[in-house]
Structure 1
Amino acid sequence: MENRQDETAFWLKNGKVTVEGALTAYLTLSETLLQEQNFPHLTYNGLVEFLRHNGVTFGIDMVSCQQIVMNPRGYIGFKQKVAVGKAPINGENAVIEILLEDITHVPRELEDGRVDFFDLGVVRTVHKGQILAKKKLPTEGVQGVGVNGAPIMAKPGRDYRLPHGKNTVISENGLELIADKDGHVSYTPRDVKIHVFDVFEVNSDIDFSVGNIDFLGTVRIRGNVLPGFRIVAAGDIEVAGNVESAVLEAGGDIIIRGGVQARGKGMIKAGGSVRARFMQGAIVEAGVDVIVRDSIMHCTISAGRSINMQAQKAVIVGGLVRAGEEVRTRTLGSPMATPTEVEVGVHPQLRTEMQGLHQRMKDLHQNMDKSKKALTLLDNMAGIGNQLPPDKAALRQNLSATYQHYLREEEELMYRRSEIEAILLDTKRAKVYCLDVLYGGVKLTLGTQVAYMRDTRTGPVVFGITDGELTTNVVY
């Protein structure tokens, strides 16, 4: 027993154990041992006891330790791995599966061979009891063990809520989202909600015989929308004819099978996409895409994702068009060098939302500060015995619940802010496609990069951002 103690004491003096990340232990024998002619025999049990003296009790590598015991001089001055812990396995996040058909369908081919780009079947109908989304629950993960024997906690998977919207219900087990009535289903990924709406139809023009419309569903207009009128819909808006200087606001998509002639008045705003045959003097905001067949002339247009022109002679000329990811057209600008501005990678709606988040955070912190001060005052009034009159005790309970609500709201706002910041920093998908002609007088802005076109270029010309610099002729 005395020899074992002497052996352990010797190696404690001349050996060093380092632990990295709680999962790996290394042994280093001191170079002073090179000056020793004889030193106590190192046994496997002695080495294990030495490691235990240094707090290494789990995952000891038997093979590595045996190698050191057989030739300790060969490991003097070198770090040798002697123990490996068990790494934790983090849990998997919840998965939400959206069980809705894709709204991008193949265009219908007409009898004469032409293709109707506007008859895409974008209205989706569901029936009561239909499953709209399913959730796979997150997992907790598997706990690890460090080389010191202490547990290493695994990170549990993050839970996500089902996209519960209007006229939908969550099943008893909390894993399915079900339609609560027959109707039109609208899903906007940015809002993370699925809604089921009824449809309101007008079999005429929107004029003084009908008046303005404000409806919690989808609106279908069989005629035109005349100047000065307003249509607001929580779902989609479909117009069979033309839209003049009117206001159209939809939580989903806006489909105009004719065109828009607005002369810089009115507004077309959609949470989803906007489709039209042509646009002149229009002001348009779309959460997803703006899809125009023939021309965009002297308009102010913002799209969260893309602006896409479809006809063989499609043109964008004059005004300002903005898109989060992509602008695609045949012709950009005009031979007269009409000032035309194109901005890509700006995500207009997200920047507006970010501004709103900053204001909400500011207001929330002010309310939290007021609640905290009030709670501190009541705690001081309670004194050592922690006793308050019934009315003051009830007030403290309400304030405490309110403060906890503020904390949860703050967490949600900060999470949404981090999501938006990540999207705004990603400019690798910012592209401008001009497939035929790019005229002088066009100003291009991709992210923070700006280019002024002074001469005419023939297409296809593609602008993008590579390594933070504006590039042309990107392969696509």
Structure 2
Amino acid sequence: MSGQLQGQGLTFRLEAQSRTLIADLQPAPEAAPIDEVWLKARLAESGWAGLRISPEAVSALLEHYQQSRALAGLQLGECVDASLKITISPDRMQVLLDSEAAQGGEPISREQILDELKAQSVSYGIQSEAIDQAVAAGEAHGLCIAQGLAPVAGADGYLECLQPIVRSRVPTVDEFDHTDFRDLGEILTVNAGDRLMLRHPPTAGIAGCTVLGASLPATAGKDVSYAAALPGTSPAPDNPDLLLAAINGQPVLTEGGMIVEPVFAIESVNAASGNVRFNGSVKIRGDVQAGMTIQATGDIEVGGVVEAASLDAGGSIVIKGGAMGGLGHQEGSQRLLRCGGSFSAAYAQQARVEAGDSIFIDDSAMQCELCAVNNIHVGNSRRGQIIGGRAQATLSISARVIGSPNRVATLIEIGVNPVLHKQHQQIVKDREARENQLMEVSKLIDFARKHPGKVPAEMFDKAHRTAAALSSEIAEIRTEQQVLERKIERSKLSRVIAEQAIHEGVEVLLCGHHFRVFGEHGAGTISIGDQGLGFLSEEEIARIGAHKA
């Protein structure tokens, strides 16, 4: 293709072999002035606007034109084909395309891209739509045109509970160490042969693939097994993953599965029935008379009233009526209601109660000694009063009304449970002992490596196994230690909550601080603030919250 601009002395031609645009200049006596804009417009009219034009050549041409100097064979521009580059990510999971648009030359084609992918051994996950997009646009920058498949990890095995309502021996505590205020309900029973749990094995996962076609193995899920000993249960004869009840009793969730505790049911406990000691759960339909003793490794449920009696449960205690103790009376002062789980009663009067989890009383607690590891909550559908006596818990003590208008002395102790401190001290001691053992074993292993043949192979192998076991134990102890330390730290946030009123005569002890209530107050909270232990009304708490917001 060639062209001549009449009257200006300019001639342009595109040489097919070299694919370059050549300009010749033969000055004309009466040529009109031209500039770069004029020149580019003339090139566009001739169909050469898309070529790669050299700015230096344009400047040289204009300079010669203005000075009326002849010029021959100036390479003004060239035809440039589209270029492409594919980049494979270091993990071989992605291919990115970068391409520059053609300038008067051949545009990028689908075949070019596919040939380049083949040349670099890309065979998996090619994105046809993305390639078509790049071809249509004529250029691309960091466009993904092939994507590998990441492996999918297998799901962990798990134990599925097949019973609708099962009591757990493990307290339900949220991330703030607050126990769920739940209805403990009645004792659920199962019969021998009933389905309890189903073990689901882990899945293998789904393998992945790189863009080069290499397989990426998936990580299998973790296996889960039933605990070695689950009393009252047995595997199904035709399915070892299915756990069945071997006896009639109460199903209870535990670590690694479920157990079935025998349930001893009796109308009432009195002099005629005698004391009850049972390896399992006890259900009393009526009352428990004063002076009687009930001991159970599981739960104790009483449908009526408990007088000045002793109850000791490994699980929880549920009293549908009230609990009347013997505090203040010599013959009943030693009576204790104690449980490893939670304690629930309609009301309590002059009773001593100790719970390994929490205490829930619906109506009132009068002149009682209440001690719970986590929470004490008085008041659900009834009055909800704590009057007199002593209440001790680690996280919270709440009631609708605390104290009485008669200024009855009521002692509230909140904060760190001494048991936690003892547990923490023992855990630290156990961890240090194992760390010392690991240090000695590590010295033996190090000596054996530096002096081959000096230590028998059996001793060396045993040392390795011991070191691995000690390391695992230390890791578990550290985890338990961290949990306890978080509980101790959070106990500083413990509080006493009066939902409706708190009266003079109430004293609160929290983490070494002492607060005595003077006068009558409405709803509010006693906790540690900037000024130490003090009372904040609901209105003050709302104002502080609004200010912070």
Q: TM tier, shorter chain?
A: 0.5 to 0.7
Contact kept, 8 Å, 1:17 with 1:54, in 2: the verdict is no
CA deviations over 1:353-410 (Å, ceiling 9, x no partner):
77766655444444444444445556677629x965xxxx3x5555555555545656
SS in 2 for 1:307: strand
Choose the corresponding residue for 1:185, options 238, 250, 256: 250
What residue identity is the alignment partner of 2:246? D
Distance 1:25 1:329 in 2: 65
What residue identity is the alignment partner of 2:112? G
Contact kept, 8 Å, 1:279 with 1:299, in 2: the verdict is no
Q: Cα 1:348–1:167, aligned 2, differ >3 Å: closer, same or farther?
A: farther
What residue identity is the alignment partner of 1:135? R
Contact kept, 8 Å, 2:413 with 2:508, in 1: the verdict is yes
Which is higher, the Rg of structure 1 or of structure 2?
A: 2
CA deviations over 1:41-77 (Å, ceiling 9, x no partner):
54434334545677754312122223323444x43xx
Distance 2:424 2:111 in 1: 63
**Which structure 1 residue ranges, 5 or more long, are not aligned?**
1-9, 105-118, 465-469
Choose the corresponding residue for 1:68, options 121, 126, 134: 134
Alignment of 1:272 with 2:344, yes or no, is no
SS in 1 for 2:205: coil
Alignment of 1:130 with 2:194, yes or no, is yes
Alignment of 1:197-208 (within 5 A): 197=262, 199=264, 203-204=269-270
Contact kept, 8 Å, 2:364 with 2:378, in 1: the verdict is no
Distance 1:134 1:44 in 2: 55
Alignment of 1:216 with 2:282, yes or no, is no
Q: Cα 1:397–1:88, aligned 2, differ >3 Å: closer, same or farther?
A: closer
Contact kept, 8 Å, 2:264 with 2:278, in 1: the verdict is no
What residue identity is the alignment partner of 1:170? P
Distance 1:62 1:265 in 2: 83
Distance 2:478 2:82 in 1: 50
* Residue equivalent to 1:287: 357
SS in 1 for 2:135: helix
Distance 1:375 1:303 in 2: 44
Alignment of 1:293-308 (within 5 A): 293-295=363-365, 297=367, 299-302=369-372, 304=374, 307-308=377-378
CA deviations over 1:72-126 (Å, ceiling 9, x no partner):
4x43xx432222222333323334232335369xxxxxxxxxxxxxx98723333
Alignment of 1:89 with 2:156, yes or no, is no
Contact kept, 8 Å, 1:432 with 1:463, in 2: the verdict is yes
Q: When the two structures are aligned, how many residues end up with a matched partner?
A: 418
Contact kept, 8 Å, 1:251 with 1:272, in 2: the verdict is yes
CA deviations over 1:175-223 (Å, ceiling 9, x no partner):
22222333x32525679643423649794369xx96xx87533357864
Alignment of 1:175 with 2:175, yes or no, is no
* Residue equivalent to 2:210: 146
Distance 1:293 1:414 in 2: 42
SS in 1 for 2:240: coil
Q: TM-score, normalised by structure 1?
A: 0.64
Alignment of 1:378-417 (within 5 A): 383=453, 393=458, 399-406=463-470, 409=473
CA deviations over 1:197-253 (Å, ceiling 9, x no partner):
3649794369xx96xx87533357864464xx986532124566546596x542211
What residue identity is the alignment partner of 1:204? N
Q: TM-score, normalised by structure 2?
A: 0.57
CA RMSD between the two structures? 5.4
Distance 1:435 1:125 in 2: 37
Distance 2:196 2:95 in 1: 51
Contact kept, 8 Å, 2:364 with 2:386, in 1: the verdict is no
Contact kept, 8 Å, 2:157 with 2:200, in 1: the verdict is yes
* Stretch moving more, 437-446 or 121-130: 437-446
Distance 2:93 2:485 in 1: 34
Q: Cα 1:312–1:41, aligned 2, differ >3 Å: closer, same or farther?
A: closer
CA deviations over 1:276-309 (Å, ceiling 9, x no partner):
3305463522335534443254534325476353
* Stretch moving more, 127-136 or 361-370: 361-370
Q: Cα 1:284–1:54, aligned 2, differ >3 Å: closer, same or farther?
A: farther
Q: Cα 1:14–1:133, aligned 2, differ >3 Å: closer, same or farther?
A: closer
CA deviations over 1:295-338 (Å, ceiling 9, x no partner):
254534325476353452220245344376x7663323433385
Q: Cα 1:330–1:370, aligned 2, differ >3 Å: closer, same or farther?
A: same
Aligned-residue offset at 1:28: 3.8
